[in-house]
Structure 1
Amino acid sequence: MAPSYALLAKEAIVLLDKFSAGRQFLDDFIEDASKDLQNMDTLQKKFILDIVSGCAEQNKLLDAVINVFYGHNGKCISRGDRSQFAIICYLAIFALDDIGLQHFSKIVKSLDINKMHTFLDFFFTNLTTWIQEEWNTIYDAAYVEKHWIGPLLRWRPEINIFLDQLSLKISQGTQTKKAPAKTTEPKEFSLTKPKPSALPLPEFIPQQEKCKPVPSSTYRPPKEIQMIEEIKQKNHQKTEELLYEANMKQFRCGNMQKSEHTKKVVSQIREDFDSKLKFNSFQSSRCPSRKKTNNWPIKLNSAAILRQGALFDRQAEEELQRMERLVEGGREPSSFLHWQKEMRERDLQEELAAVERRRLEGRISYEEAAMARTHLMERNQKTAQLKKEETAELMRKYAEKRLQEEKEMRGLVQQVAEGHKNSKAAKERIQKFKQSIVKEVSEQSRELLRQALEEAQAELSRKFEIIYEIRAIESLPHDRVKNFDDTQTAGHDLLGEMSLCELRERLTLLKDKQQAEQQEKRVQILEEKQNKKQMLLEQLDTNDLHSRALAQAASIRREERKSRLGIRQVVPQDETVLALQRKLEEKQQERQRLRQIESQRSKTSEQAASQSVADTRNRKEKTWEEVELILEHHIQMETPHVVL
């Protein structure tokens, strides 16, 4: 395609002239142009259409340069060359890095050299002055500086060399055109020869007037097409999201482990059950436990499954290579391995001794913590006993104080009861006066209510009459004619005009077609997913077989190592371990002694507590009997005339 850049540029100029001459949408024009260019190569057609669509989209950017250029050089350059300047300007701004300076120079040389030299010289001379300012008013200044001004300034030295070559070529062309002036040679008059008759002028052919284009208000494309495209785009996006989600969460049915929700529910139940069993967990102190290894099942994705399969294949290949080396006469590093096993055995013995020491130290610390907790409980019991004695003393004083207050209240109640006898007659007179006032007020209010009821009934009857009249008017029949035919068109005599029924039918067919396409895509996606799932299941079976074989080999090696090293033998009893054991026995004996003392104290404290409870119960019964007697006497003094 490289040698035909000049022809492609000329074809693009012709298309741009057609687009600027007519008033139509860019997408429709590009579709028509692509149909006209079907015989061309795909890359060539793409190059032409990209240039035309780019010039139309960046019209403001190109007009900012070309309009000012015509303002400076409009007298010597015709307006018909505007498309040439637009395409050259677009290629220089947006496509110079892609096509290169060599092809750009060929395109320029294929056009009018004088005009192209004038335009390029004008463009690159004023690039960083007013052209940049005009572009900054249209786009962001930082974007213009980074994407357009910067690349053009990098090409500027090579463009200047190319412009010098063009100017040299123009000067050579003008010198060849200027031929040397010839001297006039006189000739004799030939009077005998008649003049030839002049040819008749051709008659003027009247040109047909251009028809006015149809205004945009006459016909507008229906909105249903745009709505269909939007729905199609949303469905496509939703399909991609579902496909991505299916790829991320696939093979869930092949996974034998529990789901995340089930694990959460089981863990919550276990935590609730454990929390019910932890009564005094804040006081407990246990031996430091060993490090637990949790062998939880791992959910593998497709990449992890394939990676694991590749690892097993590589291990099998390495094992085969090792066997081949042994068959060919290779040797194993047995001496080093024997020394390494001895060192490991020694380290294991030392580690077992250290583990035993740590265990004994933990037991000793546990016994010490238990004894400290016992001492703390004794101290707390003593403090609680003192608090109980102080509380009992305070309660006794409070009971005595309450008895004294009850005696004082009894005297006050007697004094008040004597004063109430004189006030009963005054209360009866006031009650009779109030009853007379209430009787008069009730008679007046009854008269007012009767008048208000008569007025409300009259108003209600008037409203009912108005409602009857309105309903009678509404019940009169009136014609409702609806003459609308779905199968008839509006009658605008347009090419694409159709009736409502035809529009619904076409939309239904289009919807059925889209649903069929979506169903085909869905079936294809499911088939691909099923194939991938089957492949991964086979890989999982292979990986499981390899892992079982490796686990079996590892268990065999572990048993052999245990039998050789004697892991189950008794840990050597060194001096530190023996000393720790003796210390542990002493702590245990001391703790047992404290436990016996505590049991004896608890028995004595229980006996004393039972005795104190009985005493307090007797005191409470006496105080409650006295309080009941006081309340009964108080009630009798307040209501002396009530018959029980």
Structure 2
Amino acid sequence: LNVTEEKFVLDTLAGCTEYKSILDVVVNAFYVQDGRYCPISERNLYIVICYLATFQLEEIGFQHFSRIVKSLDTAKMQQFLRFFFNDLYLNTWIKDEWSHFYYSVYVKENWIEPLLRWQPKVQQLIEKLTDKLSNRTTTVKASRVTQPKEFNLTVPKPRAIPPPKPAPLPVLPKRQPVPPSTYKPPKERKQLEEIKTKNIQKAKDLLLEANTKQFRCATIKPEKREGTILTGREIDPFLPQYLEVVWESVLTQYFEELTKQPQDRIDNIPIKLNTAAILREGALYQRKLEEELKRIENLQQGAGDPSEFLEWQKQMRGKDLEEQLAEIECRRLQGKLSYEEAVLAHQNVIQENKKKADLLREEKAELMHLYAEKRLQEEKEMKELVEQVMEGHKNVKQVKAKIQEYKQQIVQQVCEESGELLRQALEEKEEKNRKRYELIQQIRAIESTPSIRHKFVDLTETGGHGLFGEMSIVELRERLALLKEAQKAAEEEKRDQIIHEKQAKEQLILDKLDQISQFRAELGRAAALKQEEKKKSQSGERPMKDERILNLQKKIVEKTMERKKQAGLL
């Protein structure tokens, strides 16, 4: 390329880069509509043609432009130019899309109007390309094609369609009657319920008979705390309460499980516990047995009976329970009262919000009026600014020439620097290859020298390193064999010891299970009697009302009436 052609190529490349956004609008639309089957690799070709037709057509001339177009593929250029120089496209969507990047007045005067002026000449160029394509296609389709003729056959008369035969009715199998057992409950269920009822009644009778015939003794004496001396009527108030709650929960659960089981499983209840649970429960019953023996000894020595204190304590607990229930009812009514007050406050807030909303609507109308006036003033200022910018675009060509000269200088500097860097890289690569070749020669020389590959080893000799406890391989094997024999003997001894310990543990667990079964039988009898006493004591209790509850109920009724009146006004 000479200097002029090289300058033209660089200017075209710089222009395509600068106006890439507006050129992409046209090329993307071409690929969507008319160029759906064009390869994407030819996209840069259409960008260059679009740039030359839009920005360089007056500078290079129409003749030079037509020569560039004719040197390319005829069908592709004819299709693209017909799409780009369409009057409807230029005046509608191309103008609107370009106005997103530049002012609409500038787009119309500098780009759209010149394209419309060149449109007749470009249309003549498109017709020439179309004629060239039609001549090419006629020469290809010059061969004759055999045209077949139809046979002269007699047309058959239409036949009448016979009426369809009636379909035979399906034969349904005979319906079987509904078995009577469908509407009757099975006999087995009724028999099982009768057996279950009998077993429960029999279990209750046996439990009551066992509880009435059990051994009776004196009441429990409370334990003394460390550092204090208590008389017969003094007792810790917290320990009996805790023991009574625990015993009631345990015995109630045991009694319910006992009554739910059938008769054939009451006499022999299976116990599924692990070792830890069995030992823990056995220790618990053993501790309780020791406490019972200690209590009996204290009774024999003349200790007092705490039954009066327990009765007083039971009455005080009843009073505390009534007070707690009254307090809970007061809190509930106070919550309901606060709810009514909150509803009234909410209705007052709604009325205030309505007044504020009216004021905000008036302020909004005033602000919208001010905004409209401000918008009109900004539009006037924008028109003045556009006129100033249009005056500044007249000196664009001079600035463009200076930019092109500056870019050419930068390209020359970059070419010189890249040549120098390429030369340095070649020198470094040659030096690296030379060092690599020398290293390969040295490795090959080392590999060519002969080496002794076989080494004879005597297993009875030591290594000769001068270390303490150094031995040969044969001696090492003998010592390892002795160590294995000793380890095996220790394992056998440990295994025997574990077997003996396991047998002793199993015997201990069996003893604990026998003890647990005896204690559970005794606990069942005590639970039944306690349950009956509890039902008798709870039959006569009735809740009482407090004056605070009545006052709160009156206040709630008044607030509810006030809230309904307020809601009617809203």
The alignment's TM-score, normalised by the length of structure 2, stands at 0.41
The alignment's TM-score, normalised by the length of structure 1, stands at 0.37
